[in-house]
Structure 1
Amino acid sequence: MGREIIVGEKAGCCFGVKRALEIAGATREKYQGPVYTLGPLIHNPAVVENMKEAGIIPCESLEEAEPGGVLIIRSHGAGPEVFTAARRRGLRVVDATCPFVRHEQKLAARLHQEGYKVVVVGDPGHAEVQAVAASVPGGAEIIDPAAVKTGEAKISLPARVGIVCQTTQTQENLAGVISAILPGIKELKVFNTICSATVERQREVYDLACRVDILLVVGGRNSANTRKLAEIGSSLVSTYHIEGVEEIDPRWFRQKRVIGVTAGASTPREQINAVIDWLEENLQEEWT
């Protein structure tokens, strides 16, 4: 019996990433001058490199962008002070923030207006989490679910707390933070801002991992949602997180008949297809 390759139906770019890439491409075509992104537009090194070749340059600070150029706000969003500073520098601003992230920012600001201490559940180093926190006047409290799990989180909150959540977190992580803070507060308002596409992908990778002998998760290592898919897969089956076909080791597939392939929300279809093509071209029918 030959090998079987099963590809996740939800694998690949989500709505927000596709939209950001389309906006970036259209912006590059429309404007002749320099086009920048503040940080990588999406968390996929190969895509960012291709964009650089097309003349869309990621910069680490606004000072790197020449006045008169165009600044694309990446899919993870930015705080209002970034928009203001960019325009003051003489940059034309094009907003490619994912609509779900923008909604999260608006909910966080609303909670602040209603008198709640705003808590953002997520990775403190993630661009989206930082952008959401920056949308709250005076800032927000960021609670890292990983620190809550290990008991390292130091949490001190007032009586009234309002929560939003990084769109690529898991429901388990959100629930864990809620459970941790609930005993110490009097009133809690929660907006579950986890993206439905994230939930669907995580459910699918769980089901897929239960059906295969080995799982490949394709996407940038700097992609939080891709790492989470790999983490779920690893809890169930031999799982490898790869950015491209050049990282594949044929030895992984010894004694493995059914191969699963999925990908993060920042992984274009052509990268997934390249992995599938490699598997079909390089693995022999005989698998023992």
Structure 2
Amino acid sequence: MEVILAETAGFCMGVDMALTKLDHLVGEPDGHPIYILGPIIHNPQVLKRYAEKGVVMVHDPAEVPAGAHVVIRAHGITRQVEESLRARNVLIKDATCPRVKKAQLLIERNTADGGELLLYGEADHPEVAGLVSYAQGGHFVFGSSEELAGHALTPGKRYVLAAQTTQDRVQFESIAKDLAGRGDIEVAVLETICDATKLRQTEARDLAQNVDFMVVVGGYNSGNTRRLAQVVSEQGTPCKHVETVDELPLDELARYKRIGVTAGASTPRLLIDEVLAGLESL
């Protein structure tokens, strides 16, 4: 059996930066407790490791006491939450991915005249909550072109189209083309999808077309990992999304000659290596 690992598998720059900042706080304690607002990345194995080191995860900003450190995760937070934390003298360590921060500021600047934001993304994702908080003229979040079609657009009105940074660029460009073809509305299209996401998805598509089976490694609650599994499946290649090697159906996979492996942007290298070892043991 031949096992092929995608070059872009594993941590992206934003995730690596967020964990480096948290590691610095954990490694050099100053007596102030360390909090994170929700999971710093969408990987349960990583979160367990930090919990064992005393990092406290909360979902309500009010649970972070004044004087404590709070690390803003790679997904970012809403501007309202950030303002409330600063007002209570919480020590903020901003680990928002630079690509996400850029998208936030682009949305703020391009909706300053009241244009409505049309955001392609997952409505319940923390990154999306942060992005729409920067919209100045209202917003609508949609997860598919069909969902957008059900949203009434007012002729003559100005709209701003953007996307969650980890969305599928091919789908986004198709949506942008459809809106541009309407002619009765003005649409400004923002380039907010991360290049690393595009590269990872493109490589996954190409790899899927040249193997008999694909394994996608990463947290089940990781949006970019789920999309990797989706783009692979769209190629017609059998695919299995797993968090750890223990979830691999190794007996079933032994019949394949070429297996491709990729991983989400929040997947630690250790978990990827364990999957590779499991496959190579066949």
Please give the TM-score of this superposition, normalised by the length of structure 1: 0.90
1:192-207 residue pairs with structure 2 within 5 A? 192-207=191-206
Q: CA–CA distance in 1 between the matches of 2:148 and 2:202?
A: 28
Task: Name the counterpart of 2:215.
Answer: 216
**Other-structure match for 1:154:** 150
How do 1:220-239 residues align onto structure 2 when only pairs under 5 Å count?
Answer: 220-235=219-234, 236-239=236-239
**What CA distance in whole angstroms lies between the structure 2 residues aligned with 1:280 and 1:6?**
10
The answer for unaligned runs of 5 or more in structure 1 is 284-288
CA contact (8 A) 1:105 1:135 kept: yes
CA 1:138–1:86: 2 relative to 1, 3 Å: farther
How many angstroms does 1:139 deviate by?
4.5
Q: In 2 relative to 1, CA 109–265 (structure 1 residues): closer, same or farther, beyond 3 Å? A: same
- Could you tell me how far apart the structure 1 residues matched to 2:43 and 2:183 are? 40
Residue 89 of structure 2 corresponds to residue 93 of structure 1: no
Which stretch of the first structure deviates more once superposed, 177-186 or 196-205?
Answer: 177-186
Aligned position for 2:167: 169
Do 1:104 and 1:132's aligned partners in 2 also have CA atoms closer than 8 Å?
Answer: yes
Q: Which amino acid aligns with 1:113?
A: A
Take 2:109 and 2:136, find their aligned partners in 1: how far apart are those partners? 11
The residue type equivalent to 1:256 in the other structure is: Y
- Residue in 2 that maps onto 1:260: 260
- Paired with 2:55 and 2:49, the residues of 1 have a C-alpha distance of 9
Using the TM superposition, give the Cα deviation of residue 170 of structure 1 relative to its aligned residue in structure 2, in angstroms: 0.9
8 Å contact from structure 1 (residues 166, 194) kept in 2: yes
Secondary structure of the 1:113 match is coil
The match for 1:286 is: none
Compare 185-194 and 8-17 and name the one that shifted more: 185-194
Within a 5 Å distance, the mapping from 1:106-185 to structure 2 comes to 106-137=105-136, 139-145=138-144, 148-149=145-146, 154-158=150-154, 159-182=157-180, 183=182, 185=184
Which structure 2 residues correspond to residues 40-119 of structure 1 after superposition, within 5 A? 40-119=39-118
Secondary structure of 1:237's aligned partner:
coil
* In 1: Cα distance, 2:193 partner to 2:219 partner: 20
Unaligned runs of 5+ in 2: none
- Give the deviation of 1:58 after TM superposition: 1.6
Kindly report which structure 2 residues correspond to 1:186-197, keeping only aligned pairs within 5 A, or say none: 186-197=185-196
Structure 1 contact 160–185 (Cα < 8 Å) conserved: no
Structure 1 residue 176 displacement after superposition: 3.8
Structure 2 distance, partners of 1:114, 1:27, is 40
Deviations 1:173-218 (A, max 9, x none): 2134335544274211111211111111111111111111111100
What residue in structure 2 maps to residue 13 of structure 1?
A: 11
Structure 1 residue identity aligned to 2:240: Y
- The Cα offsets for residues 194-247 of structure 1, whole Å up to 9 and x where unpaired, read as 111111111111111111111110000111111111112123211000000111
The residue type equivalent to 1:4 in the other structure is: E
Corresponding position of 1:278: 278
What SS does the aligned partner of 2:70 have?
Answer: strand
Aligned mates of 2:51, 2:103 — CA distance in 1: 29
Q: After TM superposition, give the deviation of residue 32 of structure 1 in Å.
A: 2.7
2:83 is paired with a residue of what secondary structure? helix
1:15 aligned partner, one-letter code: M
AA at the equivalent of 2:202: R
Q: Which amino acid aligns with 2:6?
A: G
Look up the SS of the partner of 1:157 in the other structure: coil
C-alpha displacement of 1:254? 3.8
CA distance in 2, matches of 1:78, 1:121: 18
**Residues 144 and 153 of structure 1 are in contact (CA less than 8 Å); yes or no, is this contact kept in structure 2?**
no
Count of equivalent residues: 277
The CA distance in 2 between the partners of 1:107 and 1:191, in whole Å, is: 7
Q: Deviations over 1:54-75 (max 9, x none)?
A: 2222211012223321111110
Counterpart residue identity of residue 98, structure 2: P
Note the 1:21-36 alignment, pairs <5 A: 21-30=19-28, 31-36=30-35
Of all paired residues, the percent bearing the same amino acid is 37
- State the 1:88 CA deviation: 2.8
